[in-house]
Structure 1
């Protein structure tokens, strides 16, 4: 409750007004809309159930009617005198047998097949001493090993069977009283799809249909859904039915059941409830649309009322937010003398004062950085230093000490480029010369125990930059990287290249590396001397958001310092 209260208090004043108006208006409309939706949904669901029940009943009745037709046809055939004469006749010759088969039995069977297109085969199996004639009449021995033979034998009522995939047939034994105990069985095979066509039709409308025999074996199963999903209801769940609904795998189904007693089959129809409602979704959408229009009207009226009340407060708030984005300008004016007018005018005076203070602080910070650089450069008397180094170089050459001479020349180059005649702006070429001199001095001091690789794009040498940016990064790589390395030879790579309008410097060492938390703090942690943080502060002060310095390190493998500064060909730009 406290969290909800705090949320309301933190809302904008306009939204508080809109929310209050909205809640007062929307609650009764919401209740009415939900009631209408539920009533419409239940009405549509019941209506769809009735439609399904009617279609289901018609489909099952159609199949039962077809089954009755075939049952009657079999019963009629078993009592047909012509058929009985042909199958029970005591033949004396093959010609006589062929004559009766061809002229009496075959025309009768052809007539039945012509009247019933669904019939695929009609065969009479007989124990009489006959030979096979097409598939119209066959010896009884050909079916005695069939599983259905035992069920038909001795039964004078047509029996229905499903044998294999989509293979449906029925059979009945003839009543042969007075025919020397000859056994005859009439076999009729029916086209599966044609027989169950009514169920195919009803299952094509987002439904599933099962036909189970008396042993709960699946005689027929088909389902089809327009959304491409499969809402199969396992046949094992059908026996759990209570009422006209069932739930399986978190899906609610409408379930209907009808028995086909003459055939010993039970037919089930199931359909997901959400598809029933979806089929009538246009009506529900209309109800929801009307509720949505009411919501929209309420929002428009609420927004208009809130605009009238809080327009000036909102403008002032927007202006304050712009201050967060470095826009120190007041864009709203007020001539009123109410509380809001006083607030706006006071805010204008406050911004003017803040702008004045910022300018003063900014100029003070720039001066401070310049004085720091001047103080760093002024710590050494240039003329005294150059004369001393020249004297050391001359003495070393005279004494044949080449290394001392080289060290004196490197120091002279290093300090000449560092001091840069008191200027903080230097060419990239001279900055690289300064860095190269420093690296060679460090190599001599380290007894050449590390290698140095320079990868410099010559076209960047003519650009200008502020001085003493690379030397602190190289010093950091040597002192905290290579010097900490315990095995293998050290390696230092210094590269400079132009990418677009930027110069990219990379200082890479194969030293001890740094942990991730040290990488995150290195640019914000102040160290002794002129360290990495000072380099970062200087480029941000001079270049602003157009520059960057970051470190990528893998412990015990390497560290790479990457510095990005914009290309500058005009030295005077730095004075500005």
Structure 2
């Protein structure tokens, strides 16, 4: 998994910036939109399913109440028939009466049955059957077979006997279809409570259906009424394909619902206590979720339009962001390949504009520095050529001095020999063989050579005193660093006065530094002149005072080699002294 995530991360990092921006825009918009759409769809589906179940239960219970009212009304009606004394007397004594009386009571009973059927819209046929199986009946619809022929007497009689005088609702099926709906009641003798007849009537199916015909057409078409053994009492022809599903379903508890995922229907039902019928409402998923499907289609269309709009907006945004960045990238590549500074024009004040301005400033400075380095390299080469050419004369002069030295020794002129030797040593130091840094001990030898040459001019009038800490002798300093200070002290300090000149050189180690002090008892400097010299030394600017040129040069060399914290300091008092203090780091190992 780590390898897969690493590859995905690497792939994302290698994607162009434009693709990354578009990808992030799509993810930020599409993922929440898909999540919200899916969540809305699921919640709406659950809400619609629950609402459909709740609504169907309300309607089914209303139909249940109407059927129960019909049952109560039928029960009351057949009791009224039995309360008629003439009808009762006819059933009790039909065998004992003469034919004329029996015929008269028969006509009377038939007329009562006829009036009852004609006065009610829920009864199709009615009959009273005596124990001798004589039928007194009336049929509302003469086009159908008579109830005397349709009535399954034995079956209905056995069902009615189980109710012991109460009315029973019996559905008579032909295979799975209910042929007739009977309401039957056994008629008992009041004296001995023995059966004396059977009252049976057929209920109109269309009347039962009329109990809920006032509902919406879609709802009516999806209602089916089944018997307790799942016989089809009422059903719309369009629901035939679902009847087998309803018959297989275990509809036991009243007020329940379930989903048949195989046939994709929602089934809601109630079970009547009497006459144990099942009122079933079913709705296919395509109808149940028709609004949801519309919502889903709307969500899909919204997502598609969002993608289109997002694509257009993100392309514009990406173009607005990527275009200036690509300008920067091309400018960087050109600058990297060709080294040519070409300003990037960006008329914006955001972060990208800041990057463009920064790149312009940076490339301009780099271009300037490259040009400076190029010019400096040319200048350096010219200087090296000139230096090589200039070294020819010192070497020639050095060789010439060596020849003079040998001639002076051969002629026994020691003063000329020693002076020429000292001058040759100084010439060797000025040519700069070896490292740029030398030990302080070697620097003091060069000073001795310089003083020996100068003494030919000043004689005993010039004295040089040394007080050197032995630890400081091995410290490395720039070549000919102290000699210009000695030369400056003699030229500008001792030479203008008539008294003997004394130059004191002191060197000591103090913490991590070496302090070198060069003092003379010469003319010194007035306060104003001292300020000018100090300013010239500190700033490095050339002053009219010749005394400051050599000191400024020494100070610059110290700072270049050792850093800004090192350098020289100057103290002086007119006609008394001048003291130059050199501060350098205590380093006993040399370097370039």
| TM-score between both structures, scaled by the size of structure 1 | 0.44
**Structure of larger gyration radius:** 2
